[in-house]
Amino acid sequence: MEYLSHIVNLALFYVALTVSLNLILGYGGMASLSHAAFFCIGGYVSAIVTLQLSANFLVGVALAIAMTMIIGGVLAAPFIRVKEEYVLLFTLSFQMVVYHLMMSMDAITGGDSGIFGVPLPEILGWSPETPTQFLPLMAAVLVLVYWIAFKVTRSPFGRVLKGCREDDSAVSSLGKNVLRFKVTIFMVGTGVAAGVGALFAHYTQFINPSVGSLDASILIIAMVVLGGTANLMGSAVGAILLIIIPEILNFIPGASDLIVPLRGAIYGILLIVFMRFRPEGLIPEYFHLGKGEKKDGLTQKAKGSDETVTRKENSKDAQVPQCKVVLEVSGLSKAFGGLKAVDDFSISLERGKVTALVGPNGCGKTTAFNLITGFLRPDTGKILFNGRDITNFSAHRMPQSGLVRSWQDVRIFKEMTVLDNILIARQNQPGELLSQLFFMPWKVKQEEAQNLKEAYTHLKTVGLLEKQMELARDLSYAEQKLLAIARMLASEAWILLLDEPSSGVDPNWVDHFMKMIRNLALSGKTICLVEHNLEVVRGVSDTVYFMAGGRKISQGSFEEVMADPELGEIYFGV
């Protein structure tokens, strides 16, 4: 009986660990090879604090969590600048460093043999002495871990996190600070791992470096992947299977020199079979989508509530444009090596007006967009938004100021639902802050209801309401383009920079799109578009800029610019 309870406890420990890694790997998209190291650090910190300082068990756990979160935060900060392979390398190095420190710092960690006699957990005088007695405590901890993970992932915060996993720059272009989200989730994940590790040390009354080995880190990754990344139930299934299977295999009788390798082989083959038939994990991320579960509850709420939430502009950057010229760009230049991609380019966008940028492929239109929206740093030049210098703002601050751009190659979040693609766009959602998520849930809920309501309006505008619960990757190219435009509208920006919005969409939509642009301009938005479809340019634009070779060649009304003989030669090849 105690053996069975112990196995169950062990499985629950791993479920908690797997859930915490799933936050980092499945939702945050960071493949961390050092999860067991954090688990181990938690165990050591709590063991040392309780033994050396005779502190209470709860103090030990709290310190373990706090310390590990700080270490995790520092480790994750450079992730924003490195590619996925480097995250692996980074965390692998950290894992090795921690392991060898534990092994070599004899005086503190007890070296290879570890620390014995860690006190049993003690809460208000109660102390579980057997695995069976420990079981309710472990179950309660797991419920807590699940609650935190559920809350974090099913929230505006979780939505942005998934966005980061898909496409960092698209998330930045919607005004979200990718670094903050990635570091936060890494801290939460490692904090949970440390808490669980501390509990483990007290449960077994012992901690040594072997529990924090690379093998253990890899096992936890295997549990996440087997169960299904970005699915919390999957983590439970993955962890339990990988703990239970070897225990069951132990019951296969036979001579040990024969049966031990055989058990290993069966275990390996089983894993391969699982991955062959369920490559996305046993419970994939969107398992529920096929089962007809919809956000009906939320939908009802959104439709049912008549109270309009008055929205405060809570960003220090956001301001309604007052000037006539909302965006003034002057003398912008950018060179790549010897090639001047943009050369002394100036443009001014007036409030409520539509400006089009035309020119042959490779003439610097998209580079100009990248410079204006902070995705590239200009070599020279100045960008004034509403009279304020924003030249060196980072990309994610632009949408917060009210300037948002779309991408030629669409960049929607393909592994998210159509609806989530829209919901993510709103600026400064309270639910994007964990503090508000946990301590002011009512505020988050209220804002989310409003967000949902507006999202439906935007989906209706582009005709994608019917497809709200489909994954964006299943949309056709043209529908993806429409989704990208709806996402932009949902960001509530004042200036919209559109990169080839009508390419690849059918003529009917183009007509509808032109009307939409005109209406947006009438409502006071400022629009600048890069476009090859000259019917669109003629139909919507007040001013046209013609660019070639990185420079502005001419500027004026559509007719004036089209009459330019140089344009005919460069652009139409006549």
Partner 1 sequence: MLLKVSNLDVGYQEKQVVFQASLDVDAGEFVSLIGHNGAGKTTLLKSICGYLHASSGEVNYKGEVITNISPAINVRKGISFVHQEKSLFPKLSVLENLELAAYAIDKAENLKERLEGVYALFPILAERRKQMAQTLSGGQQKQLAIGMAILVQPDLLLLDEPSLGLSPNLVKELGKALKEIQEMGMAVLLVEQNVKMAIALSQRIYVMRTGQIILEETRDEMKRRDSLWDLF
Given the rule CB under 8 A, which residues bind partner 1? Answer: 290, 359-362, 408-409, 470, 474-479, 482, 500, 503-509, 511, 532, 534, 570-573
C-alpha–C-alpha distance, residues 492 and 401, integer Å: 10
Question: Smallest distance from the beta carbon of 509 to partner 1, in angstroms?
Answer: 6
The pair phi, psi for residue 445, each rounded to 5°, is: -65, -45
Question: Smallest distance from the beta carbon of 473 to partner 1, in angstroms?
Answer: 9
Q: Which ranges of 430-469 would DSSP assign to H, the alpha helix?
A: 434-439, 441-461
Residue with tokens 């969107």: 286
CB 27 within 8 A of CB 230: yes
Collapse the DSSP code of 14 into the 3-class scheme (helix H, G, I; strand E, B; otherwise coil) and give the result: helix
CB 39 within 8 A of CB 216: yes
The pair phi, psi for residue 327, each rounded to 5°, is: -130, 125
Collapse the DSSP code of 123 into the 3-class scheme (helix H, G, I; strand E, B; otherwise coil) and give the result: strand
Question: Smallest distance from the beta carbon of 410 to partner 1, in angstroms?
Answer: 9
- The residue among 352 and 360 lying less far from partner 1, judged by its C-beta, is 360
Question: Smallest distance from the beta carbon of 252 to partner 1, in angstroms?
Answer: 38
Question: Smallest distance from the beta carbon of 456 to partner 1, in angstroms?
Answer: 19
Return the DSSP state at 542.
S
- The residue among 7 and 534 lying less far from partner 1, judged by its C-beta, is 534
- The residue among 154 and 460 lying less far from partner 1, judged by its C-beta, is 460
Question: Smallest distance from the beta carbon of 267 to partner 1, in angstroms?
Answer: 31
C-alpha–C-alpha distance, residues 49 and 67, integer Å: 12
CB 470 within 8 A of CB 417: yes
- The residue among 372 and 548 lying less far from partner 1, judged by its C-beta, is 548
**Angle, nearest 10°, between helix axes 441-461 and 477-490?**
130
Strand-pairing partners, residue 405, are: 497
What do you get for the CA distance between the two ends of the chain, in Å?
88
- The residue among 453 and 532 lying less far from partner 1, judged by its C-beta, is 532
- The residue among 296 and 474 lying less far from partner 1, judged by its C-beta, is 474
Burial-class residue 476 by CB neighbours within 10 Å (0-12, 13-18, 19+): exposed
Give the CA angle between residues 365, 174, 290 to the nearest 5°.
Answer: 115
- The residue among 260 and 534 lying less far from partner 1, judged by its C-beta, is 534
- The residue among 167 and 500 lying less far from partner 1, judged by its C-beta, is 500
- The residue among 168 and 499 lying less far from partner 1, judged by its C-beta, is 499
Question: Smallest distance from the beta carbon of 460 to partner 1, in angstroms?
Answer: 16
DSSP string covering 525-537, please? -EEEEE-S-HHHH
C-alpha–C-alpha distance, residues 168 and 82, integer Å: 12
Question: Smallest distance from the beta carbon of 534 to partner 1, in angstroms?
Answer: 7
Question: Smallest distance from the beta carbon of 25 to partner 1, in angstroms?
Answer: 25
C-alpha–C-alpha distance, residues 501 and 373, integer Å: 17
